[in-house]
Amino acid sequence: MSSGFNKTGSFSLVIKIGVIIDPNEAEAYSWARYLSETLKTEFENTFPELKWDFKVIPRHDFPQGIPKDPIHLLELGSDIKIEYKFDFVLVFTTLPLKSRFEQGVNAVPSNILETAVISISKILERYDKQATKKILLNLAKHVLGHLWGLEHRDDTVMMERKFWTPDDPSNWDEEEKTQIKKYLLSIADPRLEEMSNPVKNKFLFYLKLIIREKWSLFRDILFSKTLFMILHLGRFVTATVVSLMFLFLTAEAWEIGAAMSSLYLDISAISVIIIATLSIYFGQNFQEIARSDKLMEQTARSKIVLIGTLISGMVIYWILLFLISLIIIYLLPENILSSWAGLNKSQFSYLHFAKFMATIGVFASAVGGNLEEENQIKAVLIYTEET
């Protein structure tokens, strides 16, 4: 984000948004230009404190193939965001998008990458040009709202829906506008690389960013909905379930759990969560996302949010496995548990064994996660939603 002057001549902050198109799509430029010009005018009236700079960028390196995979388009948009120093990017296409979690998809925003993909393919099939224009603007405002920290609402443009029509709500309410303004102003500080004495050391650069933007980073990680991340990873969950089934039915596993001290088990749980996170992060090539040859705040921010989201998901997953294990252990007959663990009733600790099972489950899930199709696990982690 940079500084400038608004149309009243007063000092203002500049929000730079890139709209990326494939020049090989015949109508893409005219639609992208309409979107850019209309949003610029509307946003300048809605948020006069900010100056809006939209730029349409044709790219000949647009991913080929139909339907378009939003993962590839989001990665392209993220790279262009860094290359052109945009604050946010909309990747626009007139061709259909590949859906992963819904029956069909018109747009995919990603809070982590501060990028969104928009397609009007399905809309063009159903509506005339004027109706399509209105729906396109609503789609753009909906996904930008997500990038700016808004959640779904029932009576505004942030309404959750499967089908988009020209009669849908077309704007944010006053509370949402205030939230957007607050969000954009909160990220308005000069980037680390733009300061008079920029940090050259990579470790210190990341550390300074974490200290300076700790609440903003926490908010972005929270918005990525890590709690539901595992529900879409079939192999990830299957590896955990199969491993826990064998553990619960194997006496040796209970003996190992009984032999481990509580402190050692706690250290093991923390270590396994970290190892599992790094295993999936590098095993699924997440380090290739948001790459840059220079130390840039946008790149570092995306990587911090990405790994923060992944490790938060693992922690939540461990908690879920702990609770499930605790329930299963409670339901098992005490004489069997005592026989397997080699402990009498007074010595047996439900909490201790639930921690042990959850830790082994997370370790197994890391293996299963790396068996997952790469773009599938990326979609689960990077997508904010499919709409």
Q: Stretch 129-142: mean pLDDT, rounded?
A: 94
> If pLDDT is split at 50, 70 and 90, which confidence band does 4 have?
very low
Give domain 2-186's CATH architecture: 3-Layer(aba) Sandwich (3.40)
Dihedrals phi, psi of 230, to nearest 5 degrees: -75, -20
pLDDT at 324: 85
Residue 300 has a CB neighbour count (10 Å cut-off) of: 22
What burial class does residue 294 get, using C-beta atoms within 10 Å of its C-beta: 0-12 exposed, 13-18 middle, 19+ buried?
A: exposed
pLDDT value at 55 more than 80: yes
Question: CA 54 to CA 88: how far, in whole Å?
Answer: 10
Instruction: Write out pLDDT tens, residues 140-163.
Output: 999 999 999 899 998 999 998 888
Range list of β-strands (E), 98-221:
107-110, 115-119
Average pLDDT for 167-193 = 83
Q: Where do you find CATH 3.40.390.10 in the chain?
A: 2-186
Question: Mind listing the pLDDT tens digit for each residue in 221-241?
Answer: 776 655 556 666 666 677 677
Q: What is the pTM of this model?
A: 0.82
pLDDT tops 80 at residue 5: no
- The count of C-alpha atoms lying within 13 angstroms of the C-alpha of 241, restricted to the half-sphere facing its C-beta, is 8
pLDDT in tens, 67-79: 999 999 998 998 8
Output b/e per residue, 266-277; b: 16+ Cβ within 10 A: eebbeebbeebb
Q: Is 289 exposed, middle or buried (0-12, 13-18, 19+ CB in 10 A)?
A: buried
Task: Categorize the per-residue pLDDT at 288 as very low, low, confident or very high, splitting at 50, 70 and 90.
Answer: confident
CA distances for 6 relative to 43, 60, 301, 381, angstroms = 12, 33, 28, 37
